[in-house]
Structure 1
Amino acid sequence: MSDIEAVLSKLGQERTRLSRIAGKRRLYLVGGTIRDILLERNPADFDFAVAGSGVEFAKEFCRKTKSKLVVLSTEDDEARVVCHKHIFDFNGLGDQTIQQDLKRRDFTINALACEIFPDRIGEILDFCEGRKDLAERIIRPVSAGSLKADPLRLLRAMRLALELGLKVAESVYAQGSSISLGRTAAERIGKELLRIMEASGSYKFLVRLYGLEKLHEILPDFVPVLEDKKLHHHMFQTYYKIEEIIAGESFFSRFEPEWRRYFDRWAALGPEANGLPYRRALLKFSGLLHDIAKPQTRFVNSKGEVHFYGHDSLGAKIVGTMLRERLRLSGAQIKMVQAQVKGHMRLHLLATNRDLTDRAIRRFFRDSEEEAFGLMILCYADGWATAGRTSHLVDTITRMIEQKRAEDAQLKVRHFINGYDLIGFGLKPGPAFKVILQELEDLQVEGKINSKEEGIEYLKTNLPGLKQKEGD
């Protein structure tokens, strides 16, 4: 039994139904499915080319399996069936032969097919030397016009190289230099960029995109940075350092619980979690874009000193518009990057404050919420890219995390005062609750309130002042 037959046999009844529905129509397993099997990877989905209509075939398969149908494109005759744990994509050949179909595909490693018969699998059809390129672990375009037919294939080649551990042939870049991504749908570009940036080793492809001037096309609002040699070098170096940190090559690896909470808990929720499984990609995006507003905010004072007042806040606004309009990222994704860009200066200020207080550290964690750990990574990378000087950041970040751990452990045992206690004082739930409870929490971890009784006494004496503090 071949590897392909072994994989298809695991489909059970679905495999039998496919052959029955096909009848005398020719049915082929194609593309990335065969590629993944030959690379000894479990295929993420099953791609089929069928004589006649792909949508009609999918509808019949959907009825037989009582599954969910999604028509991907009526123009291209493509449909998807989600059946149990498997995804089946069907594409109609129309009046084309399978050879013609394969020769219009993107890369040789995806231009593979084998015919599905009721009792067996046909030989692999390889008209473009795809198996040879798989053996050499290289991604080549099927034809000289491959990227012109769909410019997004430039990004797809980079993404596949990262995900599959392959090389991109220079012929891809040669074609990429003469194409434009300007008319490619923003959401398609956004999805490919996220997958590229999520992978380890994406920095080299970011540099390639810059060299091909494709970043200029994809993110025109970023052009002033790209044309500033010093600034664009800094942004790229920040990206590089974040990627290095994510790969585990920094002191951050000692903060394993914080690391898991920040990165891994979202990934466990799957892609439906508002796009946040792409936290590595989004953090790298923050590194790339954090100083985007510096060209607009550059100010030289009478002493010749250069400042960029407000570049963090303005940058967050620019990034929000850019990621929404140019890449069609989700609201949750945009919010994360904006929070990083807007907050990236704060930790620098804390780290250079000789009188850094425990309360200032607490405020940082409260204000930053779930982005605190990511902001620490961004700030550290920013500092490294600026001057290579990071010892003060290491000391400050270590102190902050150790304090947070100790105080979380203390508060986990018990909060002496809660919202019900405030209601007992005649307060109604609202913004004042948060301010008052945070003040009481500070006093508790500072050892100034050591019991519920002491907390009640404090409220009796100080509640009017706390109410005024909330109003301020």
Structure 2
Amino acid sequence: MATIPRLIRKLGREAYNVYIVGGYIRDRILNKEAKDYDFVVKGNAEEIAKLAAEKMGGSFVPFMAEKGTYRIVVGDEILDFTNLRGKDIYEDLAHRDFTINAMAIRLTDHFEFEYIIDPFGGLKDIKNRKIRHVADYTFREDPLRALRAVRFAATYKFDIDEATKAKIKEEAHLLKNVAPERIMNEIFMIIREKDSHKYLRLMEELSLMENIFEEVAKLKEVGKCYYQLINAWIHSIRAVEEYENIISAMRFPKDVEDLVSEYLEKPMSPGNKVKDIIKLGILFHDIGKADSIYIDVENRLHFYNHEIKGAEIIKKMASRMRIPKKETNLLKKLVLYHKKPLDYYIEGVNNKTLFRFFYHLKDNAIGILLASLADYTASRLSFGKEEDIPRYENFITKLLKRYVEFKETEKPLLSPLDIILNFDVKDGKKLGQILYEIRKNRFYGEIKTKEDAVEFIKERMRVEKI
């Protein structure tokens, strides 16, 4: 807040030609903290930005110089200065996206509310919690604004005006012309919200999804099958909802809950956390079904190996949408292994299989177990078989408890140096194999103490000599 009066003092007379616009005004009205400031300059924005950087001890960055925007960074705050579009501030505001962002105030008016320039009714729309587009050309000027409308709805819990919805739907196809990085940035911000399933449904209602992800149209063609009475795409959104319910309620034993929470909060690429990327993985967990349809002699639908096909599709989709490598790797694992826990439930699982599953996937086994529970819950609810859900929830909880036990085996009973010195093991490959076998047998419950581990190695050495 101190940034604005400080900037006024430092700019002196030049402050009269500078307006603060957009999000800062909106957030001040909503009593939200803002660290990003957008200014419109009547004159030369580059000169004003350089002067502000010099006077405030900030760094000058020619951020989008080709569009007349210049940035200065002061501590953890970002100030953008842009040349006025049109002959005056009113014409400039007419090219903003939504009324709640199409307000301005002259810098020298010290943020007195009565001086807010509000030609499109932004103050009223904030009061009514409405998102309304400014002009008929709003989405043609920048099609990404369609996604921004959903993001603002998700962030501020506003409703999108019906006329704006109609316009978004009419021009949703224009999103195909937007850089994928910009699209994914908006989508990531949407899925970070606690109840993002509501806004994924809103994106579906506005025809945005199928115009971003070409794979969605195919999923919608996958209709009734043994597992659900709705198409695979609607089922996938419902599965995201169930996942959000699961991680919100967190009905697990304390040791399991602590481990799950730690995993979900792990950072990915800047701004993203594991818990958010799991949502995206669940949204596309059935992405391979459309290409894996098999109809048997009794006219029943099957989707054999759809998880393998899905992993191939998600890799291509992630590449096309420029999704970061970390996120892509997690998405592929979620799609490829989402079916495994249900297979274990149906067919049974032993220590050997479970150890391999955990050893291969490490902490991502947690994400896959949660995704499987969400998938199963959504399917059972759609099929009217909610009485099946508690049994599967108990099964997943048991597997999560076993993963806690698996994590406890990470700290070895014997260090590599102990084994080298006491058993004269000099071959690195053999040393690694011994450590692996001790850990595996600890998970099986056959080795419990350091003494057990020593006896295990002695017996192993004895057998090798025979």
Shift of residue 358, structure 1, vs aligned partner? 3.6
- Matches for 1:31-430 after TM superposition, within 5 Å: 31-93=22-84, 96-117=87-108, 123-179=115-171, 180-229=174-223, 230-246=231-247, 248-249=248-249, 251=251, 255-266=256-267, 273-275=268-270, 277-302=272-297, 304=299, 306-325=301-320, 327-354=321-348, 356-388=349-381, 389-406=388-405, 408=407, 411=409, 415-424=412-421, 425-429=424-428
Residue by residue over 1:24-83, the C-alpha shift from the partner in whole angstroms, topping out at 9 and shown as x without a partner, is 760111100000000011113111111223233223322333433333322321122221
Is contact 1:275-1:330 (8 Å) kept? Answer: no
Structure 1 residues 228 and 405 mapped into 2: Cα distance closer, same or farther (>3 Å)? Answer: closer
Please give the secondary structure, in 2, of the residue aligned with 1:117. helix
Q: Which one is further off, 199-208 or 128-137?
A: 199-208
- Take 1:253 and 1:86, find their aligned partners in 2: how far apart are those partners? 42
Evaluate the alpha carbon distance shift between residue 220 and residue 244 of structure 1 in structure 2; reply closer, same or farther with a 3 A threshold.
same
1:119/1:283 Cα in 2 relative to 1: closer, same or farther (>3 Å)?
Answer: closer
Stretches of structure 1 lacking an aligned partner (at least 5 in a row): 1-6, 267-272, 467-472
Aligned CA distance change for structure 1 residues 317 and 71 (closer, same or farther; 3 Å): farther
Alpha-carbon offset, residue 136 of structure 1: 0.7
Instruction: Output the CA distance in 2 between the equivalents of 1:125 and 1:462.
Output: 82
Pairwise CA distance, 1:276: 6.4
For residues 120 and 138 of structure 1, do their structure 2 counterparts lie closer, same or farther at Cα, with a shift above 3 Å needed?
closer
Aligned partner of 1:418: which letter?
Answer: S
Distance, in Å, in 1 between the alignment partners of 2:8 and 2:365 is: 49
- In structure 2, the CA distance between the partners of 1:387 and 1:86, relative to structure 1 (3 Å rule), is same
Q: CA separation in 1, counterparts of 2:258 and 2:356?
A: 21
Q: How many percent identity over aligned positions?
A: 26
285-294 or 67-76: bigger deviation: 67-76
In 2, the alpha carbon distance for the partners of 1:198 and 1:286 equals 13
Q: Distance in 2 between matches of 1:103 and 1:253?
A: 55
SS at match of 1:177: helix
Report the residue type matching 2:360 in the other structure: D
Distance 1:133 1:305, change over 3 A: closer
d(CA) in 2 for partners of 1:309, 1:119 = 65
Aligned-residue offset at 1:221: 2.8
- C-alpha displacement at 1:279, in angstroms? 3.0
Q: Does the CA contact (< 8 Å) of 1:154 and 1:172 recur in 2?
A: no
Specify whether residues 367 and 463 from structure 1 end up closer, same or farther in structure 2 by C-alpha distance, changes over 3 A only: farther
Deviation at 1:153, TM superposition (A): 0.9
Looking at structure 1, the residues matched to 342 and 319 of structure 2 have their Cα atoms a distance apart, in angstroms, of 28
CA distance in 2, matches of 1:400, 1:24: 63
| CA distance 1:296–1:423, shift in 2 (3 Å) | farther
Aligned residues: 445
Preserved CA contact (<8 Å) 1:32 1:110 = yes
Q: Is the 8 A contact 1:16 1:118 kept in 2?
A: no
Q: State the distance in 2 between where 1:129 and 1:172 align.
A: 15
What's the CA shift for 1:450? Answer: 4.4
Q: For the residues of structure 2 that align with 1:445 and 1:381, how far apart are their CA atoms?
A: 27
CA contact under 8 A between 2:284 and 2:335: conserved in structure 1?
yes
1:142 partner SS: coil
Q: Give, in angstroms, the shift of residue 422 of structure 1.
A: 4.6
5+ residue gaps, structure 2: 224-230, 382-387
Local SS of the residue matching 2:80: strand
Q: Which deviations, in whole Å up to 9, do the C-alpha atoms of 1:260-310 show, x marking residues without a partner?
A: 2122243xxxxxx52463434321211111111112122234565543232
Tell me which moved more, 383-392 or 149-158: 383-392
State the TM-score, normalizing by the size of structure 1. 0.85
Runs of 4+ in 1 over 6 A off after TM superposition: none
Change (3 A) 1:158 1:292: same
2:26 alignment partner, SS class? helix
